[in-house]
Amino acid sequence: MKIGMIQNVTLNDHRSVNPHNVACELERRRITVDMILQKTDEDLQYKNRPYNLIQIPGETYSVPGQIRFVTASFTPLKKGSYHIIHGRNPFSSIFSATILKKMGAITSKIVYDMRGLWIDFGVLSGKISPHLLHVLKKTENYLIKRCDHIIALSPVLKDELCSRGLDKEKISVIFGGGVDIEKVESVTPAKKDKDTTVIGYMGSISVSRQSDKIIEAFKKIKRKDIRLVMVGPVGEPHIFRELTSNCKNIVLTGYLPQEKAFHFLKSFDIVLSYHEVDHPAYNVAVPVKVFEYMASGIPIVVTNHQMYKNVLEDGKTAILTGQNPEEFAEGIVYLLENPRMAEKISARARSEVEKYSIKNVVDQLESVYLNLLE
């Protein structure tokens, strides 16, 4: 079996964590994989790549960038002789495949893997003009209906897609994206002051992801023995410089390759994620960081937002707080003052994450592939 996995992001983008892990596991099972991704001039974060990487021009959140990616993808998809073309949103990953198949130039089965509602998120985050919302959604729905199968990352996303008129029989739910548990466990923690409790966050840092609310909550905790470390690319550097300018106990590392980010993760005493906006674009999500947090065996504090409730359970695998900085801060303090509870929920989360392992996810994915090829 030969798979063409395609997505209009770079290998260094956080959205490439899942396809990289999946491709590595598929190759381990002797399934040939080409990864067709957006070209970058940066040093690539993954040095060990058993799959064949094909880089083409593109950009995720601009119309010209989408067009460049679609145009450049025709040739590798036509020449690849793939049994399955597995595209992840945005829809530029399946545009050329559906056209080629309609023309009779390829016979590949086309799978559209929806990691969320990227158009809605793009508008909410200011990366896509609201004026383009209708035409982009109409285009995506047209393309989706011409795919052989759809993968949704959560039951909530499947329900949302069905409400938009898509055939539920063509949609499989593969929860999350698969976490490389062994890799998380194998990383050694970064060094830290033994007298300091490190509270951490890992992921993109921006106002649209409400990272500023994490800082606001942290500032409400009046303790001198704690530090907040936020690992990830900063979307609005000027805003976050101002938010942290007088706070020596708040550190923003900026973008780090995954392995270095895991070094920091393993040194954290408590890990965080925050959201409070009720919108389908967020409600359907299953953040990758949550699975990495669970695999690390570190106690988790999140808001009781639907995206976290998709995976976590209050008092069992995490502490889920009210959706405001005040109650979020109280949740952090609760774990600081209750180490037994912290130990209990982190152990339960570590046990629960096994069902979201990359091996289990690829078992489900391979089943989808084989059913399509029967």
DSSP codes of every residue in 316-347: TTBEEE-SSHHHHHHHHHHHHH-HHHHHHHHH
Rounded to an integer, what distance in angstroms lies between the CA atom of residue 182 and that of residue 262? Answer: 12
Superfamily of domain 2-178+357-373: Glycogen Phosphorylase B; (3.40.50.2000)
Q: Is 108 exposed, middle or buried (0-12, 13-18, 19+ CB in 10 A)?
A: buried
Q: Chain-wide mean pLDDT for the chain?
A: 93
Q: Determine the 3-state secondary structure of 22 from DSSP.
A: helix
Which tens digits make up the pLDDT trace of 118-172?
788 887 877 788 888 888 888 888 899 999 999 998 898 999 889 888 889 999 9
Residues of the chain with pLDDT > 70: what percent? Answer: 100
Q: Determine the 3-state secondary structure of 242 from DSSP.
A: helix
* Contacts of the segment 157-165: beta carbons below 8 A, 24+ positions apart: 157/114, 157/116, 157/117, 157/284, 160/117, 160/280, 160/283, 160/284, 161/114, 165/141
- Contact between residue 20 and residue 43 where contact means Cβ atoms under 8 Å apart: no
Q: Is the pLDDT of residue 177 over 80?
A: no
Q: Is the pLDDT of residue 90 over 90?
A: no
- Contact between residue 151 and residue 310 where contact means Cβ atoms under 8 Å apart: no
Which residues does residue 272 pair with via DSSP β-bridges, in sequence order? 301
* Neighbouring C-alpha atoms within 13 Å toward the C-beta of 36: 30
The tokens for 87 are 């595209």
Rounded to an integer, what distance in angstroms lies between the CA atom of residue 70 and that of residue 74? Answer: 7
Rounded to an integer, what distance in angstroms lies between the CA atom of residue 203 and that of residue 211? Answer: 9
Confidence of residue 282 (pLDDT cuts 50, 70, 90): confident
The tokens for 316 are 């069992």
The Cα angle at residue 223 between residues 222 and 224, in degrees rounded to 5 = 130
Contacts of 190 (CB under 8 A, 6+ apart): 263, 264, 266, 267
Superfamily of domain 181-354: Glycogen Phosphorylase B; (3.40.50.2000)
- Contact between residue 15 and residue 116 where contact means Cβ atoms under 8 Å apart: no
Which tens digits make up the pLDDT trace of 243-278?
999 899 999 999 998 889 999 999 999 999 999 988
Q: Is the pLDDT of residue 176 over 80?
A: no
* Strand segments (E) across the chain: 2-7, 32-38, 52-56, 84-88, 109-114, 149-152, 171-173, 197-202, 226-231, 250-254, 270-273, 300-303, 319-321
Rounded to an integer, what distance in angstroms lies between the CA atom of residue 276 and that of residue 211? Answer: 11
pLDDT at position 281: 84
How big is the chain by its Cα radius of gyration, in Å? 21
Rounded to an integer, what distance in angstroms lies between the CA atom of residue 359 and that of residue 339? Answer: 32
pLDDT at position 146: 92
The domains spanning 2-178+357-373 and 181-354 adopt the same CATH topology: yes
Query: What helix, strand, coil percent values describe the chain, rounded to 5?
Result: 45, 20, 35
Q: Which has the closest alpha carbon to 46: 27, 71, 72, 60?
A: 27
Domain extent listing, the chain? 2-178+357-373, 181-354
CB neighbourhood size of 194 (10 A) = 5
Average pLDDT over residues 272-295: 91
Average pLDDT over residues 297-303: 98
Taking each helix axis as running N to C, give the angle between helix 339-352 and helix 325-337, from 0 to 180 degrees, rounded to the nearest 10.
100
